[in-house]
Structure 1
Amino acid sequence: MNAKNCLRLATSTLTLACVTSVFAQADLPDSIKVPDGHKVSMQTTGVGEITYECKAKANSATETEWVFVGPKAVLNDRSGKQVGSYFGPPATWEAKDGSKVTGTQLAVAPSGAGNLPYQLVKANPAEGKGAMTGVTYIQRVALKGGVAPSSGCTQASKGAKEVVKYQADYIFWASN
């Protein structure tokens, strides 16, 4: 639902879905905004961790860096009840009903020091029937933490893994 349609609703019938679809986009970088013609189908808060591994930098045998391995998070609804999970690779969002989607990253944008970037993902068709059916885009917003460790990756520690805590809101969108 777009802002114009939301404003047409009587104040007494303004719904959370309407408010969310308008305000979820208002303060976000243009690169991660969902195209017109989509509405919020589900909102979750992912609480979990991201694993990084110390590896040799590409094109350098002597330098090392922390490399993203994968996420593992619980997806909760706004009341704190678990409604799914997020894991990878590949990045997979799975609802408690067994339906799940993977996707292709379209864009990222900075979200603040020490936080993962905002992200826009184009969802692949859902596997199974349920909450993920019809999801076309997924946005990652409201980020806290999750970036690679800032130190400790050396030649001597190649192969070491570090787990970093993070939290993010995942907003699922479907075509109108």
Structure 2
Amino acid sequence: MTQARLPSLLALAAAATMLSACSTMTPASRYSQDSLPDSIKVPAGNVVAMETRATGELTYECKDKAAMPGQLEWTFVGPKATLADRAGKAVGTYYGPPATWQAADGSKVSGTQLAVAPSGPGNIPFQLVKVNPVNPANPASGAGAMLGTTYIQRVALQGGAAPASGCSADTRGQRTVVNYQADYIFWKAM
């Protein structure tokens, strides 16, 4: 082998080694918590497992305020939305009650709200949910894409807030549906 070809072969070997190392890496998430309120940030020790965009509707009912009979308000009844990946492909659904996120593979989780924070006029709030332990009576509910999910964040909100008016004695018991869009970020322990 000539000395002129040796540097080229060494460079080729180095490039092959780097490409091999890169092929074993998982893609970095485009998601950052930097601009979110502290109350809804996911604790250290968790990583983004899935990023979805929900498009759907939230249902509200005109009811008496809790512990304030005679005073009425629009009360949240439940969600119904499609979850899509960043490419726009449907990957699951979000429905309730109870609030349930279900992947296309049938796996699902429910959770308990830990915190909310304002997200802007007309929008439902940011939210942090801690995933409930898998139900022993239905252990398959946590398998598949949802297996190991620890937290869910609701961010990038558009719409969904309860109507500002229209809930009165004349409309008690009536329901209204409000469209919304949000990102649901699914986290797993490292």
Task: Please confirm whether the aligned pair reaches a TM-score higher than 0.5, indicating the same fold.
Answer: yes
Tell me which residue corresponds to 2:131: 123
Is the alpha carbon distance of 1:60 and 1:19 closer, same or farther for their aligned partners in structure 2, counting shifts above 3 Å?
Answer: closer
Q: Is the 8 A contact 2:142 2:148 kept in 1?
A: no
| Amino acid in structure 2 at the alignment position of 1:139 | Q
Quick one: structure 1 residues 124 and 112, their matched pair in 2 at CA, closer, same or farther if it must change by over 3 Å?
same
Rounded Cα–Cα distance in structure 2 between residues aligned with 1:118 and 1:42: 18
Equivalent residue, structure 2, for 1:169? 183
Structure 2: gaps spanning 5 or more residues:
1-21, 135-140
**Which of residues 44, 49, 55 in structure 2 aligns to 1:47?**
55
Per the TM alignment, residue 57 of structure 1 is displaced from its structure 2 partner at its CA by 1.9
Q: How many residues align?
A: 163
Mapping of residues 1-12 of structure 1, within 5 Å: none
Per the alignment, residue 161 of structure 2 pairs with 147
- 1: CA distance, partners of 2:142 / 2:115: 27
Identity fraction in percent: 62
Instruction: Tell me what 1:18 maps to.
Output: 28
Q: Does 1:31 align with 2:39?
A: yes
Say yes or no: does 1:98 pair with 2:98. no
Quote the Cα distance in structure 2 between the aligned partners of 1:119 and 1:17: 25
- 8 Å contact from structure 1 (residues 43, 172) kept in 2: yes
What runs of 5+ residues in structure 1 fail to find an aligned partner? Answer: 1-12
Deviation at 1:62, TM superposition (A): 2.5
Partner-residue secondary structure (3-state), 1:24: coil
Partner amino acid, structure 1, of 2:174: A
Q: What's the TM-score once normalised by structure 2's chain length? A: 0.81
TM-superposed deviation, 1:73: 0.2
Alpha-carbon displacement from aligned partner over 1:61-83 (angstroms, at most 9, x marks no partner): 32211000000000000111100
Computing the radius of gyration from Cα coordinates, the structure with the larger value is 2
TM-aligned CA distance change 1:17 to 1:151, over 3 Å: farther
1:93-136 C-alpha deviation (Å, 9 max, x unpaired):
00000000000100000111110100000012351421000000
Cα 1:55–1:16 change in 2 (3 A) is farther
Deviation at 1:37, TM superposition (A): 0.7
Distance 1:120 1:41 in 2: 15
- The separation in 1 between residues aligned to 2:124 and 2:177, in whole angstroms, is 14
Q: Post-superposition, which runs of at least 4 consecutive aligned residues in structure 1 deviate over 4 A? A: none
TM-score by length of 1: 0.87
Other structure's SS at 2:33 match: helix
What is residue 85 of structure 2 aligned with on the other side? 77
Shift, 1:60, TM fit: 3.1
How large is the RMSD of aligned CA atoms in angstroms? 1.9
